[in-house]
Structure 1
Amino acid sequence: MAFTAAALSTLPAAAQDITAQSPQPQPEIVTGGDSLTVAVGVATLPDFEGSGSNRIIPAGLIRGSVSGINFSTRGAQLFVDLVPNAAGPGYDFQLGPVIGANFDRTRRKTIDNARVAALGERDTAIEVGGYVGLARTGVITSDYDTLAASVSYTQDINKAHKSYLITPQIDYGTPLSRKAYVGLSANAIYVGGEYADTYYSVTPAGSLLSTLPSYNAGKGWKNYSVTAFASYALTGDLLHGLSLVAGGSYSRLLGDFAESPIVRIAGDRNQLLGAVGLAYTF
Protein backbone atom coordinates (compact mmCIF):
# COMPACT_ATOMS: atom_id res chain seq x y z
CA MET A 1 0.00 0.00 0.00
CA ALA A 2 3.00 2.32 -0.17
CA PHE A 3 1.79 4.02 -3.36
CA THR A 4 -1.75 4.59 -2.06
CA ALA A 5 -0.21 6.21 1.01
CA ALA A 6 1.41 8.80 -1.22
CA ALA A 7 -2.00 9.66 -2.64
CA LEU A 8 -3.73 9.79 0.73
CA SER A 9 -1.05 12.04 2.21
CA THR A 10 -2.17 14.90 -0.07
CA LEU A 11 -5.92 14.33 -0.20
CA PRO A 12 -7.06 16.57 2.68
CA ALA A 13 -5.10 19.63 1.52
CA ALA A 14 -6.36 19.25 -2.05
CA ALA A 15 -9.94 18.74 -0.93
CA GLN A 16 -9.74 21.73 1.39
CA ASP A 17 -8.61 23.92 -1.50
CA ILE A 18 -11.60 22.82 -3.58
CA THR A 19 -13.97 23.45 -0.69
CA ALA A 20 -12.56 26.87 0.05
CA GLN A 21 -12.28 28.15 -3.54
CA SER A 22 -15.10 26.53 -5.52
CA PRO A 23 -17.74 29.10 -6.57
CA GLN A 24 -20.47 26.45 -6.62
CA PRO A 25 -22.73 25.91 -3.59
CA GLN A 26 -21.33 23.08 -1.50
CA PRO A 27 -22.49 21.15 1.57
CA GLU A 28 -20.84 22.48 4.70
CA ILE A 29 -17.59 20.69 5.44
CA VAL A 30 -15.30 21.41 8.35
CA THR A 31 -11.73 21.81 7.06
CA GLY A 32 -8.40 22.14 8.77
CA GLY A 33 -7.56 20.88 12.24
CA ASP A 34 -6.69 17.33 13.19
CA SER A 35 -7.52 14.42 10.90
CA LEU A 36 -6.88 10.71 10.57
CA THR A 37 -7.18 8.33 7.61
CA VAL A 38 -7.00 4.56 8.11
CA ALA A 39 -6.92 2.12 5.18
CA VAL A 40 -7.00 -1.68 5.05
CA GLY A 41 -6.88 -3.98 2.04
CA VAL A 42 -4.88 -6.61 0.19
CA ALA A 43 -1.67 -6.34 -1.78
CA THR A 44 0.22 -8.53 -4.21
CA LEU A 45 3.99 -8.25 -4.06
CA PRO A 46 7.07 -10.35 -4.87
CA ASP A 47 8.05 -13.13 -2.43
CA PHE A 48 11.35 -11.27 -2.03
CA GLU A 49 12.83 -8.31 -3.84
CA GLY A 50 13.96 -9.78 -7.15
CA SER A 51 11.56 -12.73 -7.05
CA GLY A 52 9.84 -14.05 -10.13
CA SER A 53 6.61 -14.85 -8.27
CA ASN A 54 4.17 -12.84 -6.17
CA ARG A 55 2.14 -13.52 -3.03
CA ILE A 56 -0.97 -11.88 -1.59
CA ILE A 57 -0.85 -10.34 1.87
CA PRO A 58 -3.09 -8.10 4.01
CA ALA A 59 -2.02 -4.47 3.93
CA GLY A 60 -2.83 -1.19 5.60
CA LEU A 61 -1.78 2.41 6.06
CA ILE A 62 -2.47 5.46 8.17
CA ARG A 63 -2.04 9.18 7.64
CA GLY A 64 -3.08 12.16 9.66
CA SER A 65 -2.37 15.55 11.14
CA VAL A 66 -2.22 16.46 14.82
CA SER A 67 -1.58 20.06 15.90
CA GLY A 68 -0.01 20.84 12.53
CA ILE A 69 2.31 17.79 12.56
CA ASN A 70 1.63 15.56 9.55
CA PHE A 71 2.42 11.85 9.43
CA SER A 72 1.89 9.02 6.96
CA THR A 73 3.01 5.46 6.31
CA ARG A 74 4.47 4.20 3.06
CA GLY A 75 4.65 0.45 3.21
CA ALA A 76 6.57 -0.38 6.38
CA GLN A 77 7.92 3.16 6.80
CA LEU A 78 6.54 6.06 8.86
CA PHE A 79 7.23 9.63 7.70
CA VAL A 80 6.61 12.59 10.02
CA ASP A 81 6.63 16.14 8.60
CA LEU A 82 7.47 18.50 11.46
CA VAL A 83 6.96 21.69 9.40
CA PRO A 84 3.31 22.86 9.36
CA ASN A 85 1.96 24.10 6.03
CA ALA A 86 -0.99 26.30 5.11
CA ALA A 87 -3.82 25.00 2.88
CA GLY A 88 -4.14 26.49 -0.58
CA PRO A 89 -1.77 27.20 -3.49
CA GLY A 90 1.85 27.77 -2.56
CA TYR A 91 5.01 26.04 -1.40
CA ASP A 92 5.29 23.48 1.38
CA PHE A 93 8.70 22.74 2.90
CA GLN A 94 8.88 19.25 4.40
CA LEU A 95 11.35 18.01 6.99
CA GLY A 96 11.22 15.23 9.53
CA PRO A 97 12.18 11.75 10.70
CA VAL A 98 11.65 8.40 8.98
CA ILE A 99 11.49 5.03 10.70
CA GLY A 100 10.79 1.71 9.05
CA ALA A 101 11.40 -2.01 8.92
CA ASN A 102 12.73 -4.23 6.14
CA PHE A 103 11.23 -7.73 6.22
CA ASP A 104 12.83 -8.97 2.99
CA ARG A 105 13.64 -12.71 3.24
CA THR A 106 13.04 -12.77 7.01
CA ARG A 107 10.77 -15.85 6.79
CA ARG A 108 11.88 -18.86 4.78
CA LYS A 109 8.34 -20.18 4.28
CA THR A 110 7.29 -17.04 2.37
CA ILE A 111 10.03 -17.61 -0.25
CA ASP A 112 8.64 -19.74 -3.07
CA ASN A 113 12.01 -20.37 -4.73
CA ALA A 114 13.83 -23.28 -3.03
CA ARG A 115 17.32 -22.11 -4.10
CA VAL A 116 16.86 -18.65 -2.58
CA ALA A 117 15.26 -20.15 0.53
CA ALA A 118 18.37 -22.33 0.92
CA LEU A 119 20.46 -19.17 1.37
CA GLY A 120 18.79 -18.73 4.74
CA GLU A 121 16.71 -16.10 6.50
CA ARG A 122 17.74 -12.49 7.09
CA ASP A 123 17.18 -10.52 10.27
CA THR A 124 14.60 -7.73 10.26
CA ALA A 125 16.32 -4.42 9.52
CA ILE A 126 15.19 -1.35 11.48
CA GLU A 127 15.91 1.61 9.23
CA VAL A 128 15.95 5.06 10.83
CA GLY A 129 16.74 8.45 9.32
CA GLY A 130 15.07 11.53 7.92
CA TYR A 131 13.79 13.22 4.81
CA VAL A 132 13.56 16.69 3.30
CA GLY A 133 11.26 17.82 0.52
CA LEU A 134 9.54 20.69 -1.23
CA ALA A 135 6.00 20.62 -2.60
CA ARG A 136 4.09 23.12 -4.71
CA THR A 137 0.29 23.22 -4.87
CA GLY A 138 -1.24 24.73 -8.01
CA VAL A 139 1.28 23.93 -10.76
CA ILE A 140 -0.20 22.25 -13.85
CA THR A 141 -3.88 21.42 -14.10
CA SER A 142 -5.43 23.76 -11.53
CA ASP A 143 -4.94 25.47 -8.18
CA TYR A 144 -5.42 22.11 -6.51
CA ASP A 145 -2.79 19.76 -7.98
CA THR A 146 0.48 19.14 -6.14
CA LEU A 147 4.01 18.41 -7.35
CA ALA A 148 6.54 17.33 -4.72
CA ALA A 149 10.20 16.33 -4.69
CA SER A 150 11.93 14.76 -1.71
CA VAL A 151 14.92 12.70 -0.66
CA SER A 152 15.22 10.40 2.34
CA TYR A 153 18.20 8.80 4.07
CA THR A 154 17.87 5.80 6.39
CA GLN A 155 20.39 3.63 8.21
CA ASP A 156 19.88 0.14 9.63
CA ILE A 157 20.30 0.23 13.42
CA ASN A 158 19.47 -3.45 14.05
CA LYS A 159 22.66 -4.87 12.49
CA ALA A 160 20.63 -6.75 9.88
CA HIS A 161 22.32 -5.25 6.81
CA LYS A 162 24.30 -2.50 8.66
CA SER A 163 23.98 -0.16 5.71
CA TYR A 164 22.09 2.84 4.33
CA LEU A 165 19.49 3.70 1.70
CA ILE A 166 19.11 7.02 -0.15
CA THR A 167 15.78 7.52 -1.93
CA PRO A 168 15.00 10.52 -4.15
CA GLN A 169 11.32 10.69 -5.09
CA ILE A 170 8.92 12.78 -7.20
CA ASP A 171 5.14 12.77 -6.61
CA TYR A 172 2.32 14.38 -8.57
CA GLY A 173 -1.35 14.24 -7.65
CA THR A 174 -4.54 16.03 -8.59
CA PRO A 175 -8.19 15.84 -7.49
CA LEU A 176 -10.55 15.27 -10.41
CA SER A 177 -13.51 16.32 -8.28
CA ARG A 178 -14.43 16.46 -4.61
CA LYS A 179 -14.70 12.66 -4.72
CA ALA A 180 -11.91 11.48 -7.02
CA TYR A 181 -8.12 11.76 -6.84
CA VAL A 182 -5.33 10.36 -9.04
CA GLY A 183 -1.57 10.51 -8.85
CA LEU A 184 1.79 9.38 -10.20
CA SER A 185 5.04 8.76 -8.37
CA ALA A 186 8.62 7.83 -9.30
CA ASN A 187 11.66 7.05 -7.19
CA ALA A 188 15.06 5.36 -7.22
CA ILE A 189 17.04 3.78 -4.38
CA TYR A 190 20.81 3.91 -3.82
CA VAL A 191 22.16 1.43 -1.25
CA GLY A 192 25.46 0.75 0.47
CA GLY A 193 27.75 -2.21 -0.01
CA GLU A 194 26.68 -4.14 3.08
CA TYR A 195 23.03 -3.91 1.98
CA ALA A 196 24.08 -5.36 -1.39
CA ASP A 197 26.00 -8.18 0.33
CA THR A 198 23.14 -9.06 2.66
CA TYR A 199 20.42 -9.42 0.03
CA TYR A 200 22.18 -9.96 -3.33
CA SER A 201 25.59 -11.58 -2.78
CA VAL A 202 26.03 -15.37 -2.73
CA THR A 203 28.86 -16.68 -0.56
CA PRO A 204 30.75 -19.90 -1.43
CA ALA A 205 28.92 -21.64 1.41
CA GLY A 206 25.60 -20.28 0.13
CA SER A 207 26.50 -21.49 -3.35
CA LEU A 208 26.91 -25.06 -2.09
CA LEU A 209 23.54 -24.94 -0.33
CA SER A 210 21.58 -23.27 -3.13
CA THR A 211 23.44 -24.42 -6.30
CA LEU A 212 23.54 -20.74 -7.32
CA PRO A 213 26.97 -19.44 -8.39
CA SER A 214 28.99 -17.33 -5.97
CA TYR A 215 28.52 -13.60 -6.45
CA ASN A 216 29.71 -10.39 -4.82
CA ALA A 217 27.31 -7.45 -5.24
CA GLY A 218 28.55 -3.88 -4.75
CA LYS A 219 26.89 -0.63 -3.69
CA GLY A 220 24.98 1.47 -6.21
CA TRP A 221 21.55 2.24 -7.61
CA LYS A 222 19.42 -0.75 -6.69
CA ASN A 223 16.22 -0.02 -8.61
CA TYR A 224 13.78 2.54 -9.92
CA SER A 225 9.99 2.46 -9.55
CA VAL A 226 7.00 4.14 -11.17
CA THR A 227 3.57 4.10 -9.57
CA ALA A 228 -0.01 5.08 -10.36
CA PHE A 229 -2.70 5.38 -7.71
CA ALA A 230 -6.28 6.56 -7.28
CA SER A 231 -8.90 7.18 -4.62
CA TYR A 232 -12.67 7.56 -4.93
CA ALA A 233 -15.00 8.61 -2.12
CA LEU A 234 -17.87 6.17 -1.64
CA THR A 235 -19.46 8.30 1.09
CA GLY A 236 -18.84 11.96 1.83
CA ASP A 237 -15.88 13.35 -0.11
CA LEU A 238 -12.08 13.44 0.00
CA LEU A 239 -12.19 15.16 3.40
CA HIS A 240 -14.43 12.76 5.25
CA GLY A 241 -15.97 9.34 4.82
CA LEU A 242 -15.29 6.01 3.16
CA SER A 243 -13.11 5.75 0.05
CA LEU A 244 -11.92 3.07 -2.35
CA VAL A 245 -8.14 3.21 -2.88
CA ALA A 246 -6.06 1.32 -5.42
CA GLY A 247 -2.65 1.44 -7.03
CA GLY A 248 -0.10 -0.38 -9.12
CA SER A 249 3.69 -0.15 -9.34
CA TYR A 250 6.45 -1.32 -11.67
CA SER A 251 10.01 -1.61 -10.38
CA ARG A 252 13.18 -2.65 -12.22
CA LEU A 253 16.37 -3.81 -10.54
CA LEU A 254 19.61 -2.33 -11.87
CA GLY A 255 23.33 -3.05 -12.15
CA ASP A 256 24.86 -5.52 -9.71
CA PHE A 257 21.44 -6.19 -8.22
CA ALA A 258 19.90 -7.27 -11.51
CA GLU A 259 22.98 -9.39 -12.31
CA SER A 260 22.88 -11.25 -8.98
CA PRO A 261 22.06 -14.95 -9.54
CA ILE A 262 19.32 -14.50 -6.93
CA VAL A 263 17.61 -12.29 -9.53
CA ARG A 264 19.11 -13.29 -12.90
CA ILE A 265 18.77 -17.06 -12.41
CA ALA A 266 16.23 -17.59 -9.63
CA GLY A 267 14.11 -14.46 -10.03
CA ASP A 268 13.29 -11.52 -12.28
CA ARG A 269 14.62 -7.96 -12.47
CA ASN A 270 11.11 -6.72 -13.32
CA GLN A 271 8.86 -6.42 -10.28
CA LEU A 272 5.10 -5.75 -10.22
CA LEU A 273 3.07 -4.74 -7.17
CA GLY A 274 -0.60 -3.93 -6.71
CA ALA A 275 -3.02 -3.09 -3.92
CA VAL A 276 -6.69 -2.34 -3.37
CA GLY A 277 -8.50 -1.41 -0.20
CA LEU A 278 -10.93 0.79 1.69
CA ALA A 279 -9.97 3.92 3.58
CA TYR A 280 -11.92 5.95 6.09
CA THR A 281 -11.12 9.58 6.89
CA PHE A 282 -12.20 10.91 10.25
Structure 2
Amino acid sequence: MRRAIIPAITASLLAAAPALAQEQGPPPGVAQGGGKWGPDRVTVGLGGGIAPDYSGSDDYEFQPGGIVQGTVSGFNFAMRGTNLYVDLAREQRGSGIDVIAGPVLQVRLERNGSIEDPRVAALGKRSAAFEAGGYFGIGKRGVLSRFDEVSMDVTLVHDVGSVHKSYVIRPSLGYQTLIGKRTFTQLRASADFVGKGFARTYYDVPAGSLLPAYSTNGGGLESVGLTALATHALGRDPRRGWSVFALGGWSRVTGRFARSPIVSVAGDPNQFRLIGGLGYTF
Protein backbone atom coordinates (compact mmCIF):
# COMPACT_ATOMS: atom_id res chain seq x y z
CA MET A 1 0.00 0.00 0.00
CA ARG A 2 2.76 2.48 0.75
CA ARG A 3 3.78 2.45 -2.94
CA ALA A 4 0.76 4.70 -3.48
CA ILE A 5 2.49 7.46 -1.56
CA ILE A 6 5.12 8.05 -4.24
CA PRO A 7 2.92 9.21 -7.12
CA ALA A 8 0.57 11.06 -4.78
CA ILE A 9 3.38 13.17 -3.37
CA THR A 10 5.24 13.44 -6.66
CA ALA A 11 2.12 14.87 -8.25
CA SER A 12 2.54 18.06 -6.22
CA LEU A 13 6.21 18.56 -6.94
CA LEU A 14 6.30 20.95 -9.89
CA ALA A 15 4.10 23.99 -9.57
CA ALA A 16 6.52 25.70 -11.88
CA ALA A 17 6.62 28.36 -14.57
CA PRO A 18 7.34 27.49 -18.22
CA ALA A 19 11.12 27.67 -17.98
CA LEU A 20 11.04 25.49 -14.88
CA ALA A 21 8.51 23.03 -16.23
CA GLN A 22 10.58 22.29 -19.32
CA GLU A 23 13.19 20.69 -17.08
CA GLN A 24 10.86 17.96 -15.90
CA GLY A 25 10.12 14.51 -17.26
CA PRO A 26 6.99 12.45 -17.78
CA PRO A 27 4.45 11.71 -15.04
CA PRO A 28 5.31 9.08 -12.42
CA GLY A 29 4.03 5.50 -12.40
CA VAL A 30 0.53 4.49 -11.41
CA ALA A 31 -0.27 4.19 -7.72
CA GLN A 32 -0.80 0.79 -6.12
CA GLY A 33 -3.80 -0.28 -4.12
CA GLY A 34 -7.56 0.09 -4.50
CA GLY A 35 -8.46 -1.92 -7.59
CA LYS A 36 -6.79 -3.43 -10.63
CA TRP A 37 -5.36 -0.15 -11.87
CA GLY A 38 -5.01 1.68 -8.55
CA PRO A 39 -7.13 4.60 -7.32
CA ASP A 40 -8.01 7.63 -9.43
CA ARG A 41 -6.59 10.91 -8.15
CA VAL A 42 -5.90 14.47 -9.29
CA THR A 43 -3.42 16.95 -7.85
CA VAL A 44 -3.49 20.71 -8.31
CA GLY A 45 -0.39 22.69 -7.32
CA LEU A 46 0.56 26.36 -7.11
CA GLY A 47 3.97 27.83 -6.47
CA GLY A 48 6.95 29.34 -8.17
CA GLY A 49 10.63 29.97 -7.93
CA ILE A 50 13.77 31.76 -9.01
CA ALA A 51 15.23 30.86 -12.40
CA PRO A 52 17.34 32.44 -15.16
CA ASP A 53 15.60 34.69 -17.69
CA TYR A 54 16.58 32.23 -20.44
CA SER A 55 19.09 29.44 -20.99
CA GLY A 56 22.58 30.87 -20.47
CA SER A 57 21.45 34.05 -18.72
CA ASP A 58 23.02 35.38 -15.52
CA ASP A 59 19.90 37.43 -14.72
CA TYR A 60 17.35 35.76 -12.45
CA GLU A 61 13.67 36.44 -11.88
CA PHE A 62 10.70 35.07 -9.95
CA GLN A 63 8.47 32.83 -12.08
CA PRO A 64 5.02 31.78 -10.80
CA GLY A 65 3.16 28.81 -12.23
CA GLY A 66 1.01 25.74 -11.63
CA ILE A 67 0.35 22.08 -12.32
CA VAL A 68 -2.56 19.71 -12.82
CA GLN A 69 -1.63 16.03 -12.69
CA GLY A 70 -3.46 12.81 -12.05
CA THR A 71 -4.30 9.16 -12.69
CA VAL A 72 -7.59 8.02 -14.20
CA SER A 73 -8.30 4.29 -14.78
CA GLY A 74 -4.59 3.53 -14.78
CA PHE A 75 -3.62 6.29 -17.22
CA ASN A 76 -1.37 9.11 -16.01
CA PHE A 77 -1.48 12.68 -17.26
CA ALA A 78 0.39 15.83 -16.27
CA MET A 79 0.12 19.49 -17.22
CA ARG A 80 3.21 21.25 -15.86
CA GLY A 81 3.48 24.87 -16.84
CA THR A 82 3.36 24.76 -20.64
CA ASN A 83 3.96 20.98 -20.93
CA LEU A 84 1.39 18.19 -21.35
CA TYR A 85 2.34 14.53 -20.88
CA VAL A 86 -0.05 11.59 -21.24
CA ASP A 87 1.14 8.12 -20.20
CA LEU A 88 -0.63 5.53 -22.37
CA ALA A 89 1.11 2.54 -20.77
CA ARG A 90 -1.17 1.18 -18.05
CA GLU A 91 0.49 -0.43 -15.05
CA GLN A 92 -1.30 -3.19 -13.17
CA ARG A 93 -1.33 -3.24 -9.39
CA GLY A 94 1.46 -5.26 -7.85
CA SER A 95 3.90 -4.96 -10.74
CA GLY A 96 7.53 -4.15 -9.86
CA ILE A 97 8.15 -2.50 -13.24
CA ASP A 98 6.83 0.86 -14.45
CA VAL A 99 6.67 1.35 -18.22
CA ILE A 100 5.88 4.89 -19.34
CA ALA A 101 5.18 5.90 -22.92
CA GLY A 102 3.03 8.48 -24.61
CA PRO A 103 2.73 11.83 -26.38
CA VAL A 104 4.18 15.17 -25.30
CA LEU A 105 2.97 18.66 -26.23
CA GLN A 106 4.70 21.79 -25.03
CA VAL A 107 5.21 25.48 -25.67
CA ARG A 108 8.79 26.78 -25.44
CA LEU A 109 8.96 30.41 -24.27
CA GLU A 110 12.74 30.80 -24.50
CA ARG A 111 13.61 34.53 -24.83
CA ASN A 112 9.94 35.25 -25.40
CA GLY A 113 9.43 37.70 -22.52
CA SER A 114 11.38 40.59 -21.07
CA ILE A 115 15.17 40.32 -21.42
CA GLU A 116 17.18 42.29 -18.88
CA ASP A 117 20.57 42.26 -20.63
CA PRO A 118 20.44 45.02 -23.32
CA ARG A 119 22.93 43.21 -25.56
CA VAL A 120 20.77 40.09 -25.72
CA ALA A 121 17.57 42.14 -25.88
CA ALA A 122 18.94 43.86 -29.00
CA LEU A 123 18.97 40.46 -30.74
CA GLY A 124 15.17 40.49 -30.51
CA LYS A 125 12.61 38.30 -28.84
CA ARG A 126 11.82 34.81 -30.05
CA SER A 127 8.30 33.67 -30.84
CA ALA A 128 6.77 30.90 -28.75
CA ALA A 129 7.75 27.51 -30.20
CA PHE A 130 5.06 24.81 -30.29
CA GLU A 131 6.67 21.39 -29.92
CA ALA A 132 5.23 17.89 -30.13
CA GLY A 133 6.70 14.45 -29.69
CA GLY A 134 6.74 11.53 -27.31
CA TYR A 135 8.59 9.80 -24.53
CA PHE A 136 9.46 6.29 -23.42
CA GLY A 137 10.87 5.07 -20.14
CA ILE A 138 11.06 2.27 -17.65
CA GLY A 139 11.35 2.15 -13.87
CA LYS A 140 12.28 -0.59 -11.40
CA ARG A 141 10.84 -0.48 -7.90
CA GLY A 142 12.36 -2.05 -4.80
CA VAL A 143 16.03 -1.57 -5.73
CA LEU A 144 17.57 -0.58 -2.39
CA SER A 145 14.40 -0.70 -0.30
CA ARG A 146 10.74 -1.62 -0.64
CA PHE A 147 9.80 2.00 -1.32
CA ASP A 148 12.34 3.26 -3.84
CA GLU A 149 12.53 3.31 -7.64
CA VAL A 150 15.20 3.78 -10.31
CA SER A 151 13.95 5.05 -13.68
CA MET A 152 15.28 5.94 -17.13
CA ASP A 153 13.40 7.77 -19.85
CA VAL A 154 13.95 9.60 -23.12
CA THR A 155 11.82 12.48 -24.44
CA LEU A 156 11.90 13.68 -28.05
CA VAL A 157 10.05 16.77 -29.24
CA HIS A 158 10.18 18.71 -32.49
CA ASP A 159 9.07 22.22 -33.38
CA VAL A 160 5.83 21.85 -35.33
CA GLY A 161 5.84 25.51 -36.34
CA SER A 162 8.54 27.72 -37.83
CA VAL A 163 10.48 29.04 -34.83
CA HIS A 164 13.53 26.78 -34.58
CA LYS A 165 12.34 23.97 -36.92
CA SER A 166 14.39 21.48 -34.96
CA TYR A 167 14.35 18.86 -32.21
CA VAL A 168 15.25 18.43 -28.56
CA ILE A 169 16.14 15.00 -27.16
CA ARG A 170 16.34 14.60 -23.39
CA PRO A 171 17.54 11.36 -21.76
CA SER A 172 17.31 11.26 -17.98
CA LEU A 173 18.07 8.95 -15.07
CA GLY A 174 16.34 9.24 -11.71
CA TYR A 175 16.21 7.76 -8.23
CA GLN A 176 13.31 8.34 -5.85
CA THR A 177 12.48 7.03 -2.39
CA LEU A 178 10.38 7.57 0.71
CA ILE A 179 11.79 8.79 4.00
CA GLY A 180 9.34 7.80 6.69
CA LYS A 181 5.66 7.74 5.76
CA ARG A 182 5.12 11.23 4.37
CA THR A 183 8.39 12.55 2.92
CA PHE A 184 9.46 11.84 -0.64
CA THR A 185 12.85 12.62 -2.19
CA GLN A 186 14.10 12.41 -5.75
CA LEU A 187 17.39 12.99 -7.56
CA ARG A 188 17.45 13.22 -11.37
CA ALA A 189 20.21 13.74 -13.93
CA SER A 190 19.45 14.74 -17.52
CA ALA A 191 21.00 16.04 -20.72
CA ASP A 192 19.62 17.98 -23.69
CA PHE A 193 20.68 17.25 -27.27
CA VAL A 194 19.41 19.82 -29.78
CA GLY A 195 19.35 20.21 -33.53
CA LYS A 196 21.02 22.79 -35.74
CA GLY A 197 17.90 24.96 -35.98
CA PHE A 198 17.59 25.15 -32.20
CA ALA A 199 21.25 26.11 -31.88
CA ARG A 200 20.96 28.80 -34.54
CA THR A 201 17.76 30.29 -33.08
CA TYR A 202 18.85 30.55 -29.46
CA TYR A 203 22.66 30.79 -29.54
CA ASP A 204 23.86 32.32 -32.83
CA VAL A 205 24.75 36.05 -32.95
CA PRO A 206 24.61 37.87 -36.32
CA ALA A 207 27.26 40.35 -37.44
CA GLY A 208 26.62 43.96 -36.45
CA SER A 209 25.12 43.09 -33.05
CA LEU A 210 26.15 44.48 -29.67
CA LEU A 211 27.77 41.08 -29.04
CA PRO A 212 30.52 39.51 -31.15
CA ALA A 213 29.27 37.58 -34.16
CA TYR A 214 29.06 33.83 -33.57
CA SER A 215 27.77 30.70 -35.28
CA THR A 216 27.28 27.38 -33.52
CA ASN A 217 27.68 25.50 -36.82
CA GLY A 218 25.39 22.67 -35.80
CA GLY A 219 23.61 21.02 -32.92
CA GLY A 220 24.73 18.57 -30.25
CA LEU A 221 24.87 18.36 -26.47
CA GLU A 222 23.44 21.68 -25.31
CA SER A 223 23.34 21.16 -21.52
CA VAL A 224 23.54 18.73 -18.62
CA GLY A 225 21.78 19.09 -15.30
CA LEU A 226 20.83 17.76 -11.87
CA THR A 227 17.66 18.32 -9.84
CA ALA A 228 16.95 17.40 -6.22
CA LEU A 229 13.43 17.31 -4.83
CA ALA A 230 11.87 16.94 -1.40
CA THR A 231 8.12 16.91 -0.71
CA HIS A 232 6.21 16.41 2.51
CA ALA A 233 2.55 15.49 2.96
CA LEU A 234 0.88 17.64 5.61
CA GLY A 235 -2.00 15.28 6.44
CA ARG A 236 -2.07 11.81 7.94
CA ASP A 237 -2.96 10.21 4.61
CA PRO A 238 -0.22 11.14 2.10
CA ARG A 239 -2.42 9.98 -0.78
CA ARG A 240 -4.91 12.79 -0.14
CA GLY A 241 -4.81 16.37 1.07
CA TRP A 242 -2.14 19.06 1.25
CA SER A 243 1.59 18.76 0.62
CA VAL A 244 4.54 21.13 0.31
CA PHE A 245 7.61 20.78 -1.85
CA ALA A 246 11.02 22.30 -2.56
CA LEU A 247 13.21 21.67 -5.59
CA GLY A 248 16.73 22.82 -6.37
CA GLY A 249 18.32 22.48 -9.77
CA TRP A 250 21.65 23.07 -11.48
CA SER A 251 22.43 22.84 -15.17
CA ARG A 252 25.40 23.81 -17.30
CA VAL A 253 25.41 24.95 -20.90
CA THR A 254 28.13 22.99 -22.70
CA GLY A 255 30.51 23.04 -25.65
CA ARG A 256 29.77 25.28 -28.63
CA PHE A 257 26.67 26.58 -26.87
CA ALA A 258 28.66 27.78 -23.85
CA ARG A 259 31.07 29.56 -26.23
CA SER A 260 28.25 31.66 -27.66
CA PRO A 261 28.66 35.32 -26.56
CA ILE A 262 25.06 35.12 -25.31
CA VAL A 263 26.48 32.84 -22.62
CA SER A 264 30.23 33.52 -22.43
CA VAL A 265 30.02 37.35 -22.59
CA ALA A 266 26.49 38.33 -21.53
CA GLY A 267 25.59 35.33 -19.36
CA ASP A 268 26.85 32.33 -17.43
CA PRO A 269 27.01 28.63 -18.42
CA ASN A 270 26.00 27.60 -14.88
CA GLN A 271 22.27 27.86 -14.29
CA PHE A 272 20.55 27.53 -10.91
CA ARG A 273 16.89 27.14 -9.96
CA LEU A 274 15.03 27.10 -6.66
CA ILE A 275 11.34 26.23 -6.57
CA GLY A 276 8.76 25.85 -3.83
CA GLY A 277 5.01 25.49 -3.55
CA LEU A 278 1.88 23.90 -2.19
CA GLY A 279 -0.25 21.13 -3.70
CA TYR A 280 -3.57 19.44 -2.96
CA THR A 281 -4.46 15.86 -3.96
CA PHE A 282 -8.08 14.66 -4.12
- TM-score, reference length from structure 2: 0.87
Shift of 1:124: 0.4
2:188 aligns with 185
**Which range is displaced more, 153-162 or 75-84?**
75-84
SS of residue paired to 2:223: strand
2:133 aligns with 129
User: Structure 2 matches for 1:200-211, cutoff 5 A?
Assistant: 200-204=203-207, 208=208, 210-211=209-210
**Deviation sequence 1:128-178 (CA, Å, 0-9, x none):** 0001111111111x1121111000110001211110011101121111122
1:270 aligns with 270
SS of residue paired to 2:200: helix
**Deviation sequence 1:28-49 (CA, Å, 0-9, x none):** xxx9321101110121110111
- The AA in structure 2 aligned to 1:243 is S
Distance of 1:199 and 1:64 partners within structure 2: 33
Shift of 1:87: 3.6
2:73 aligns with 67
2:96 aligns with 90
How many residue pairs get aligned? The number is: 261
Distance of 1:101 and 1:258 partners within structure 2: 24
2:13 aligns with none
Shift of 1:75: 4.6
| Cα contact 1:89–1:143 (8 A) shared by 2 | no
| Cα contact 1:5–1:74 (8 A) shared by 2 | no
Structure 2, unaligned runs of 5 or more: 1-15
- TM-score, reference length from structure 1: 0.87
| Cα contact 1:154–1:165 (8 A) shared by 2 | yes
SS of residue paired to 2:267: coil
SS of residue paired to 1:236: coil
Shift of 1:78: 1.6
Structure 1, unaligned runs of 5 or more: 21-30
* CA spacing shift, 1:12–1:91, aligned 2, 3 Å: closer
Question: Percentage identity across aligned positions?
Answer: 40
> Which of 111, 114, 137 in structure 2 is aligned with 1:105?
111
Distance of 1:185 and 1:87 partners within structure 2: 25
2:12 aligns with none
Q: Does 1:214 align with 2:213?
A: yes
1:151 aligns with 154
| Cα contact 2:21–2:82 (8 A) shared by 1 | no
| Two-structure CA RMSD over aligned residues (Å) | 2.2
Distance of 2:277 and 2:25 partners within structure 1: 13
2:246 aligns with 246
Distance of 1:229 and 1:4 partners within structure 2: 16
* CA spacing shift, 1:6–1:33, aligned 2, 3 Å: farther
Shift of 1:8: 10
Shift of 1:89: 5.3
Which has the larger share of helix? 1
- The AA in structure 2 aligned to 1:121 is K
2:123 aligns with 119
> Which of 56, 71, 75 in structure 2 is aligned with 1:50?
56
- The AA in structure 2 aligned to 1:214 is A
Distance of 2:191 and 2:26 partners within structure 1: 21
